[in-house]
């Protein structure tokens, strides 16, 4: 009789605890598909159309790593449009340039992560609006390994920290 009572109690506890078990959503990130470019920023292969664009559908995934605070300020409070291209050259030895053109003054946050989901680079920028070329020099950073791909997440924010444009793209470091 004690065994039956124990079994019923165990079953009741299990049933009570099951609703509290929450399965986390796991996103599988494919780092192998990047848009190859040469040193003049011309596309030299297949374009991955899911990268270097405003990805509203993946906004939660794209901004998960953009939670750090940047000690920058901007005066403009309106959202604008953004034009950007894939960084170049890609792949590279660790030095990339990235052409962006935000319509208005804004904040930009950038995070690079490894295939192990480790943050290897993050920074925030204040952009005045209009075309700008950003240089990323990862050659001296030991967190960037040779013959490895990385995911770059980006987010454009108004002066009131309202995100209005975000996405991701993959880069490859070869030496």
What residue has token string 């040469």? 38
pLDDT at 17 over 60: no
Per-residue pLDDT reduced to its tens digit, 90-148: 999 999 999 999 999 999 999 999 999 999 999 999 999 999 999 999 999 999 999 99
Query: Which whole number is the average pLDDT over 14-34?
Result: 59
Hey, which CATH number is domain 33-173, 1.10.579.10, 2.60.40.2550, 3.40.1350.10, 1.10.275.10?
2.60.40.2550
Sketch the domain layout of the chain as residue ranges.
33-173
Q: How far apart are CA 106 and CA 114, in angstroms?
A: 27
Cβ within 8 Å of residue 61, ≥6 positions away: 27
Taking residues 51-73, report their average pLDDT. Answer: 80
Helix (H) or strand (E) holding 147: none
pLDDT interval class at 39 (50, 70, 90): very high
Residue 59: predicted pLDDT: 75
Q: Identify the pLDDT of residue 27.
A: 57
pLDDT the model gives residue 145: 94
Highest mean pLDDT, choosing among 19-23, 74-78, 153-157, 159-163? 153-157
Whole-number Å distance between alpha carbons of 151 and 21: 31
d(CA 147, CA 113): 15
Task: Report the pLDDT value the prediction gives residue 143, as an integer from 0 to 100.
Answer: 94
């Amino acid at each position: 009789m004690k065994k039956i009572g124990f079994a019923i109690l165990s079953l009741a506890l299990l049933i009570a605890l099951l609703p509290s078990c929450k399965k986390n959503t796991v996103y599988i990130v494919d780092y192998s598909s990047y848009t190859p470019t040469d040193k003049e920023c011309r596309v030299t292969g297949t374009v991955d159309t899911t990268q270097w664009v405003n990805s509203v559908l993946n906004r939660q995934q794209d901004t998960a790593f953009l939670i750090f605070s940047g000690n920058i300020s901007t005066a403009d409070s309106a959202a604008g449009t953004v034009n950007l291209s894939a960084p170049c050259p890609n792949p590279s030895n660790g030095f990339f340039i990235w052409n962006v053109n935000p319509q208005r003054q804004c904040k930009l946050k950038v995070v690079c992560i490894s295939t192990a989901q480790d943050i290897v680079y993050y920074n925030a920028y204040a952009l005045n609006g209009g075309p700008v070329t950003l240089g990323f020099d990862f050659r001296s950073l030991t967190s960037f390994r040779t013959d490895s791909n990385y995911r770059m997440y980006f987010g454009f924010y108004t002066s009131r920290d309202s995100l209005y444009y975000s996405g991701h793209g993959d880069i490859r470091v070869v030496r």
